Amino acid sequence: MSESRELKDAVEAGQRLQRVAVEVGKAIEGKQAAVRLALCAIVGGGHLLIEDLPGVGKTTLAQALSRALGLDFARVQFTSDLLPSDVIGAQIFDPREASFSFRPGPVFAQVVLADEINRAPPRTQSALLEAMSERQVSVDGVSHPLPRPFIVLATQNPIDQSGTYPLPDSQLDRFLLRLSLGYPPPHVERDLVASRDATLSVLDRVQPALDAASLIAMQRMAQRVRVESSLADYLARITEATRQTRLLSVGASTRGLLALASAAKAHALVDGRDFLLPDDVRAVSVATLAHRVLLASGPIDGLAARAESERVIESLLERVELPE
């Protein structure tokens, strides 16, 4: 009886998440696959890195997601002179009380947009590490919990663009998924030119389709998606394949395996299921693993390196035998 009830809950969750996707699609047209992956990152309880050229909708996607999810939102524009305290907050002296008090930074929001995160130096980038992994920040030895849910949506220009700093591997690993949008389809761009009203932002079309409590419930539901032993073995074999190929000098870690499982389970829930299928794993593998591996040769960073890493993961998926 409880099993059938959970299945009904999964179906309802999938329907509500599809409504979120529809709302986001009002601002980001022609990018259904990217929107779906973004929802997988959020429902999987993780953070999302959106990497692409300037001007293709990275920031718009992040803002549309926060609106459709009905969550508090804060934006931090990362620049070369941004300090860690500008992100997490600082102790401020109150002369009237003759004491220090903590003034929270913009990271104390349910959705934090770290816009162009790789334009800030490593010290400021690392200010987000504790927040992303522990859901708290520490200032002067005092820990301050962050709101729930807590989601970092970071945008990044390609490393080979001028004025950027590569993200540390430890921080890249904190992003559950990395995706890119690419250019819009030609018909979408034509419609933008022909009909866009300069006085109306595309974000004004997006309406809330969820709330914080519902999203937290869905994140917990995603954790309970059933993974049969054959699927668990399939996940492990994909991860092991990244460690065995000569095309990669560093394969996916155990954390990468767990991230792949979380993203795949979230994909199943977005589809309205409480059980995992091989298609769920294959749908999220590239976005989950490509930024967690290092190429053995070829480009080190930038668009070319990302594309090559993704091609390697895709080729490994073709070689790993599907579960029976």
Q: What is the reported pLDDT for 7?
A: 47
3 state SS of 149: coil
What is the location of CATH 3.40.50.300 in the chain? 2-224
pLDDT tens track for 110-157: 999 999 888 888 888 888 888 998 999 988 888 899 999 999 999 987
pLDDT at 162: 65
How confident is the model at residue 53, as a pLDDT?
Answer: 79
Give the separation between CA 167 and CA 26, rounded to whole angstroms: 31
Ranking 88-92, 94-98, 210-214, 245-249 by mean pLDDT, the lowest is 94-98
3-class SS at 229?
Answer: helix
Q: What distance in Å separates the CA atoms of residue 44 and residue 22, rounded to the nearest whole number?
A: 19
Taking each helix axis from N to C end, the angle separating 278-289 and 229-244, rounded to the nearest 10 degrees, works out to: 30
**Which amino acid does the sequence have at 180?**
S
> How does the average pLDDT of the chain come out, rounded?
88
| 306-318 pLDDT per residue, tens | 889 999 999 999 9
Handedness of CA 261, 125, 146, 206 (dihedral sign): negative
Which run of H or of E encompasses 282? helix 278-289
Asked if the bond preceding 184 is cis, omega within 30° of 0, the reply is no
Helices (H), 180-271: 186-195, 212-223, 229-244, 254-270
Main-chain dihedrals φ then ψ at residue 235, nearest 5 degrees? -60, -45
Q: Which residues contact 199 (CB under 8 A, 6 or more apart)?
A: none
Confidence of residue 305 (pLDDT cuts 50, 70, 90): confident
* Chain segment 67-118, per-residue pLDDT in tens: 999 999 999 999 888 988 999 988 887 788 777 788 899 999 999 999 988 8
CATH of domain 226-324: 1.10.8.80
The CATH fold assigned to 2-224 is Rossmann fold (3.40.50)
User: What's the Cα-to-Cα distance from 101 to each of 83, 115, 124, 131, rounded to whole Å?
Assistant: 19, 28, 22, 20
The partner residues of 151 in beta bridges, in order of sequence, read: 111
- Give the pLDDT score at 101: 82
Q: Specify the domain boundaries for CATH 1.10.8.80 within the chain.
A: 226-324
Residue whose C-alpha is closest to residue 228's, from 277, 173, 183:
277
Q: Could you tell me the pLDDT band of residue 17, with boundaries at 50, 70 and 90?
A: very high
CA distance 55 to 166: 20
